[in-house]
Structure 1
Amino acid sequence: MQAANISPADVWNLARRNIEFDDDACLVFDDSVLDKNHSHKIELVRKQYSGNAHGLIKGIGVVNCLYVNIKTGHYWIIDWRIYAPDEDGKSKLDHVQEMFDNAMAHKKLPFRTVLMDSWYATMDLMKHIHRAGKHFYCPLKSNRKVDDSQGQQPYKAVSTLQWSAQEHVHGKHVKLFKFPSDIKLKLFRVVVDTNRTDWVVTNDLSQDSTDDTHEMCAVRWKIEQYHREIKQVLGIEKCQCRMARSQKNHIACAILAWVHLCETAKALKTNIYSLKKGILSEFLKKELRSPTIRMAPI
Structure 2
Amino acid sequence: MRKTVAVWDPKTQQTKYQSPFTKNEYLQHLLRVVQQQVAYRYLLADSWYASAENMTLVRALGHHFVFALESSRTVALSEAGRAQGQFHAVQSLTFPDTHPLRVYLRAVKEAVLVTRQVLTNQDGSQGVLYLVSSDTDLNQAQLTMIYQRRWKVEEYHKSLKQNASMGKSPTKTLATQANHFLAAVLAYTKLEVLKVKCGLGHFRLKAQLYAVELKAMYQQLALLRA
Normalising by structure 2, we get a TM-score of 0.74
- Which of 110, 114, 119 pairs up with 1:187? 114
Structure 1 partner of 2:12: none
1:221 is matched with 151
Select which of 33, 49, 54 maps to 1:120. 49
Distance 1:256 1:89, change over 3 A: farther
Q: Is the 8 A contact 1:83 1:92 kept in 2?
A: no
Q: What letter matches 1:229 in structure 2?
A: S
Is 2:201 aligned against 1:271? yes
**C-alpha contact 1:84 1:90 (8 A) present in aligned 2:** no
Equivalent in the alignment of 1:258: 188
Question: For residue 187 of structure 2, what is the amino acid of its counterpart?
Answer: A
- The one-letter amino acid paired with 1:91 is T
**Deviation of the 1:296 alpha carbon:** 5.4
Taking CA–CA contacts closer than 8 Å with sequence separation of 6 or more, which of the two structures ends up with the larger relative contact order?
1
Aligned length: 209
Shift of 1:116: 0.8
Q: Is the partner of 1:170 in helix, strand or coil?
A: coil
Greater C-alpha Rg: 2
Describe the superposition over 1:97-125 as per-residue Cα deviations: whole angstroms up to 9, x where unpaired: 333344433xx334322111111101111
Are positions 1:238 and 2:168 aligned together?
yes
Within-5 A mapping of 1:1-150: 88-105=19-36, 108-150=37-79
User: How many angstroms does 1:228 deviate by?
Assistant: 2.1
SS where residue 237 of structure 1 aligns?
Answer: helix
- 1:190-213 deviation per Cα after TM superposition (whole angstroms, max 9, x unaligned): 22346432332101122022x432
Q: Which has the higher helix share?
A: 2
- Judged with a 3 Å threshold, the aligned counterparts in structure 2 of structure 1 residues 117 and 83 are, in CA distance, closer, same or farther, namely farther
Q: What code does the residue aligned with 1:179 have?
A: V
Residue identity matched to 2:177: Q
Distance in structure 2 (CA, Å) of the matches to 1:269 and 1:154: 55
Structure 1 runs not aligned, ≥5 long: 1-80
Unaligned runs of 5+ in 2: 7-17
| Secondary structure, aligned partner of 1:151 | helix
Change (3 A) 1:252 1:91: farther
Give 1:51's aligned residue: none
Percent sequence identity over matched residues? 22
Deviations 1:269-298 (A, max 9, x none): 332233334444445555666xx7996558
Measured after TM superposition, the shift of residue 151 of structure 1 is: 1.2
Looking at structure 2, the residues matched to 294 and 189 of structure 1 have their Cα atoms a distance apart, in angstroms, of: 59
Distance 1:177 1:212, change over 3 A: same
1:253: how far off?
Answer: 2.1
* Aligned partner of 2:90 among 115, 134, 159: 159
TM-score (structure 1 length as normaliser): 0.58
Change (3 A) 1:258 1:99: farther
